[in-house]
Amino acid sequence: MDESSQKKIEEDVRAACERADLDVAATLAIKGYGPEILGFLTALHRSEADASDVFSLFCEKLWKGLGAFSWQSSLRTWAYTIARNTSHRFRTQGKRHAGAALDSSAVEKVVQEVRTATLTFLKTEQKDRFAALRESLDDEEKTLLILRLDRGLSWEDLARVMLEESTAEPSRDDLKRESARLRKRFQLVKEKLLEMGKRAGLVGPKD
């Protein structure tokens, strides 16, 4: 997503929030960021059905949380934070309430449209040659690759997403420490993938 498109989404959603029109705000947010969030969740979960259920839960949490969102980070970063935490809880706490419809029919309609269009696209999208290798990585490693390489999040935004969910805004020191940790982890993941690629014959010895 280019910078101008992201800026337009952020401005439109914020304006709707300031009008207290949360259905419109959620609709705009899900239309704007829903496809890439669902793509992220599909990459994290081996099951398309599970990814779809987590996406429904994500949309519900985003819709209900917009009124209290402080805008101390970008909406996009906050959305990825919700998505990652929702995915983690889904794995650890089971599928309770998964896939339940939203109370707002307008928002639910957009969720269904995004889900259908995105999953159809993902089924036909050509996978890169490291797709199978990525599947062998753990959740944090896959998240780092997707959000840093595929989505282009900054290290600070990545730190916000990867820090444990909290009602308090992370301090600058917290963000700095987490950014440094993620840089090191990211380098290790790249080296790990390179070595795996070499063993699988996907990468030459000098690549």
Per-residue confidence in pLDDT tens, the chain, 207 aa:
788 999 999 999 999 999 999 999 999 999 999 999 998 998 888 788 899 999 999 999 999 999 999 999 999 999 999 999 999 989 888 665 454 555 556 677 888 888 877 766 665 543 455 566 777 788 889 899 889 988 899 999 999 999 866 557 888 999 999 999 999 999 998 888 878 777 756 555 554
| Residue 37 near residue 83, CB atoms below 8 Å | yes
- Domain ranges in the chain are 1-125, 128-207
Q: Where would I find the beta strands (DSSP E) of 35-77?
A: none
Supply the pLDDT for residue 166: 59
DSSP state of 126: P
| Residue 34 near residue 79, CB atoms below 8 Å | no
* Angle, alpha carbons 154-158-159 (nearest 5°): 120
**C-alpha distances out from residue 192 to 79, 82, 150, 162, Å:** 28, 28, 18, 20
Supply the pLDDT for residue 195: 81
Supply the pLDDT for residue 29: 96
Instruction: Tell me the C-alpha distance between 87 and 41, whole Å.
Output: 7
Instruction: Tell me the C-alpha distance between 152 and 34, whole Å.
Output: 16
Phi, psi of 165 (to 5 degrees): -60, 135
Supply the pLDDT for residue 121: 65
DSSP state of 147: I
Supply the pLDDT for residue 145: 87
Supply the pLDDT for residue 124: 52
